[in-house]
Amino acid sequence: MSSTLFRTKKVEQSILDTEEPEHALKKSLSALDLTVFGVGVIIGTGIFVLTGKVAKENAGPAVALAFIVAGVVCGLAALCYAEFASTVPVAGSAYTFSYASLGELPAWIIGWDLVLEFALGTAVVAVGWSGYVRSLLDNAGWHLPESLSGRDGATGFGFDILAAALVLALTVILVLGMKLSARVTTVVVAIKVAVVLIVIIAGAFFITADNYKPFIPKAQPQEAGSSIQSPLVQLMFGYTPTDFGVMGIFTAASVVFFAFIGFDVVATAAEETKNPQRDMPRGIIGSLIICTTLYVAVSIVVTGMQKYSELSIDAPLADAFKATGHPWYAGVISFGAAVGLTTVCLILLLGQTRVFFAMSRDGLLPRFFSVVHPKFKTPYRPTILLGVIIAILAGFTSLSELAELVNIGTLFAFVVVALGVVILRRTRPDLPRAFRTPLVPFIPILSVLASLWLMLNLPAETWIRFAVWMVLGFIVYFVYGRSHSRLGRSEEAGVGEAG
């Protein structure tokens, strides 16, 4: 039985499956499109909110170093993703990579994990977008009824009509074609980056050097917790993270890491890229370098404009401009955040539908969902199904507590991909690799350790919820996926013919 659970799908077969007419996605993306996708999904609320929160509570002005540390951790994972995405240019990202290196059951687990990660991520961001838009509408004197403004604060019936409408609109765009999605993303990302550059350039004129003193504030030990809301590392080893000081930079890095989540979604578009061997590494690594640079610049500016201990947690950038007597910029920042979140939702939804499509094409989910639209060549069935489900989820649910599940899911995918690179190097050294992760196995092992460390810093409660979802995934696999696997059926047919 164990041999069937860990049967691997040959890379050549995965690529061959992408050429079946009914199940083939249209190749229309360039390296620029992929980089724009990466920047579009990475720059979200993180840059507008986390910067001030982490500077005030964990690292002071040294939050810029925390962004660099987090960028390096993501960079290690990005090198692994770049090798896989250029070697196995097939929809599904970490799911497809795992199928080629670790086997069917690990691939199912990571695919099931990614479905949860992208679904919750899309819903969480849609709710955040809705909050920004309602704020802008309130400023203009337009007020939505309480019953249509979401679950938070609702006394009776509460449905977030804006969040649901956004998800449904993006679903339509994704059904109509990948190139249209890329064009919409390009326009929105241009606006978003322009707002970030305005913050950096305008804010640079209001920097006061004294606000950087001390650049690394004196260390302050945290109180150890014992509830399931405490980080797992505390409950297991009694380790207590430190605020400020040198160790505070690493504590801060575990928080700001989540501002980088999303670059891995670029890998899900490998099958729809014109020249994936060349363009996937450029898109993945290029978007990460651009976003890290912008994050570091923003954190330097905001901690220079206002003393770190006085920064607000909810809207640090906007409030820093208000504190220097320039409230006009606050409206520009809110507008940039609202516009920017649309691309985050679009690309997370794109990632989820591609993983679902790949699992369906392999038979682990019903094959009905792997048929592409005859005209648009998009996986329209899972896109519509998942779009409607997520719209309802975003409309009816307050998702703040579930947001950390997105983080643990991403880190789990990082671990699997890094291990997969090492294994595939040993099992298939003959594969042509347009991009090779340097210093294997050192870089992948470092990526695994860094990701596990960040996972241990998440609350035990998050681990429990993640475990419940994984158990549910095991049940679905053994009830449906294992018996319907195309790889399994082809092996059985081969054995029957041999007999």
Q: Which domains are delineated in the chain?
A: 2-498 (1.20.1740.10)
C-alpha to C-alpha distance for 168 and 345, rounded to whole angstroms: 11
Phi-psi region of 60 (alpha: psi -120 to 50; beta: other; left: phi over 0): left
| Weakly modelled stretches of the chain, pLDDT under 50 | 495-499
Q: pTM (2 decimals)?
A: 0.84
- At residue 474, the pLDDT reads 93
- At residue 386, the pLDDT reads 94
C-alpha to C-alpha distance for 347 and 326, rounded to whole angstroms: 33
List the one residue out of 80, 62, 99 whose CA is nearest residue 486. Answer: 99
**CB neighbourhood size of 226 (10 A):** 9
- At residue 314, the pLDDT reads 66
149's tokens: 């403004």
- At residue 407, the pLDDT reads 76
Residue 40 Cα distances to 45, 50, 341, angstroms: 12, 17, 8
Cα 84 from chain centre? 17
Task: Tell me the per-residue pLDDT of 110-131, one tens digit each, with 9 for 90 and over.
Answer: 999 888 888 888 888 888 788 7
**CB neighbourhood size of 246 (10 A):** 12
- At residue 399, the pLDDT reads 55
